Amino acid sequence: MVQAPTLSVVLPNYNHAHLLPRAIEALLAQERPPDEIIVVDDGSTDDSRTVIAQMAARAPAISVLLNEKNLGVVRTQNRALEAASGRYIYLAAADDWVLPGHFKLALEALEANPACGLFCGESMLVDGKSDRLIAIRPPARPTHQARCVSAAETIDLLRRIDNWILTNTCVFRRDCMIEAGGLDARLGPFADGIMARKIALTHGFFFAPAVVASWAVFTDGFSRRAALNLDQAKYFLDFIPARLSEDPAFPKWYPSVFAARWRFATSRLALETEPIDNHHIASMGARSSLDRIALKVIWTLLGPRPARLATLAWLSMRLRPTSLIELARTALVRRMERRNGPAEGRFLERRAEGP
C-alpha cells in the first residue's frame, strides 16, 4: 500500500498576535490543508497565546508548544520540527502567508518527482505595514517552466544566480532535511536558506514559476536586522563562508561567491536607509582602496538619489551579485506573462507536471 503524503507546518511566533490569524487562516484554507500545524510561541509578551489558544480550539490540526523564555527563531523552529510527524515540512512565518493552491501544487510536484528534495515557487514581496505589492521574487528565475532541476544543474545555477529558493514558498522532504543536518542555529537568518541550498545541491529541486506565497517585509524583520547591524553582518561574512568551506556538499568556489553576494545584499539595504548609511557600505561593500576612493567620490559629488544609483551600479560591477542576463530574461518573460493578467492575480496558472 502506497503511503499517502503527510504535511506538517512549523509556525514559530513571537509577539505577532495581530498577524497570526491571517497566517493560520491561510494555512487552514488550503485546498490541500496541512495534516498538522505546530505553533510554537517563543515567549511572547503580547496577546499571542490567547490568539493561538482560540484558533487551536476550533482547528484540530493545530497543536501548541510554549517556550518558557525567548529562544530565537531557529531554536524555536527546531523544537517544532522535533514534534512534527509529516513526510513533508513547510516552514511558516507568522508575518507571511500562503496563497490558495500552494500545498496542492507542491505535494503533486514532489509526489510526481520523488528524486527532488524540495519544492519552491514565487512569492509576492509586500510592504509589511500596508500590504502594498513591491515586487515578485525571485528576481531571476532558475527556469521558466515547472520542472525538477537536477543537482548538477543546481551547481551551474549557483555560479550565476543565488536567490531563487524562497523558503517561504518551500515544501521540504523531511528525510532530506534530516540528511542535510536540519536548521543550524549558528547560521541565524541563513539557517533555512543554507539548508535549502544543500538539499538542492544533493537532490535537486522542483521550481514552479507561479506565485504561491506572500512575503511581508518589515524594517525590524529578522533578516533585515542582521543585515543592517554591522557587527552581525561582519560576523556572518566570516562565519558562513568558513562553515560552507567545511561542507563537501558545497562547491569549493561557492564560499567566496556567497561572501561577495552578502556584501552586496547588506550594502543594498544600507542604501535604502535615510540618510544613506555610508559607514556600513564602506565596511561591507568596499573590498579595496579603489572601492573606497570611488565611493567617496560618488558621495562627495552627487546628491542623495544619484549617489544611491551610482553606488548601486559600482557595487554591482565590483561584486557581481547575480547574472544581469538572467534578471533581464526573467523581467521580459514576466512582462509577456502579464499580458494575460497581472502576476499577483495568477497565483497558480501553471500546474506542476512530472518529467
Q: Is pLDDT at 327 greater than 90 in this prediction?
A: yes
Q: What are phi and psi of 133, to 5 degrees?
A: -65, 130
Q: Residue 304: how many CB atoms within 10 A of its CB?
A: 11
Q: Which of 277-281, 298-302, 344-348 bottoms out in mean pLDDT, i.e. has the lowest?
A: 344-348
Give me the pLDDT at residue 341, please. Answer: 63
> Quick one: average pLDDT of 28-54?
96
pLDDT digits (tens, 9 = 90+) for 134-165: 999 999 999 999 999 999 999 999 999 998 99
10 Å CB burial of residue 68 (0-12, 13-18, 19+) is exposed
Enter the C-alpha cell of residue 254.
Answer: 561557492
102-218+340-355 CATH choice from 3.50.50.60, 3.40.720.10, 3.40.1130.10, 3.90.550.10: 3.90.550.10
For the chain, the domains span 1-95, 102-218+340-355, 223-319
Confidence check: pLDDT of 304 > 60: yes
Banded model confidence at residue 240, pLDDT cuts 50, 70, 90? very high
Indicate whether 280 pLDDT > 90.
yes
pLDDT of residue 5: 67
pLDDT > 80? residue 340: no
User: What is the model's pLDDT at position 116?
Assistant: 97
Q: Average of pLDDT values for 250-260?
A: 97
What is the pLDDT of the chain when averaged over all its residues?
Answer: 92
Q: Which of 64-73, 94-103, 123-132, 241-250 has the lowest mean pLDDT?
A: 123-132
Q: What is the pLDDT of residue 277?
A: 93
Q: Which of 40, 33, 32, 35 is nearest to 14 (CA)?
A: 40
CATH H superfamily, domain 1-95: Spore Coat Polysaccharide Biosynthesis Protein SpsA; Chain A (3.90.550.10)
Q: List 88's β-bridge partners, or say none.
A: 7, 173
Per CATH, 1-95 and 102-218+340-355 having the same topology is answered: yes
What are the E-state strand segments in the chain? 7-13, 36-41, 62-66, 88-91, 97-98, 118-127, 133-137, 147-149, 171-173, 205-217
pLDDT at 56 over 90: yes
Confidence band, pLDDT 50/70/90 cuts, at residue 347: very low
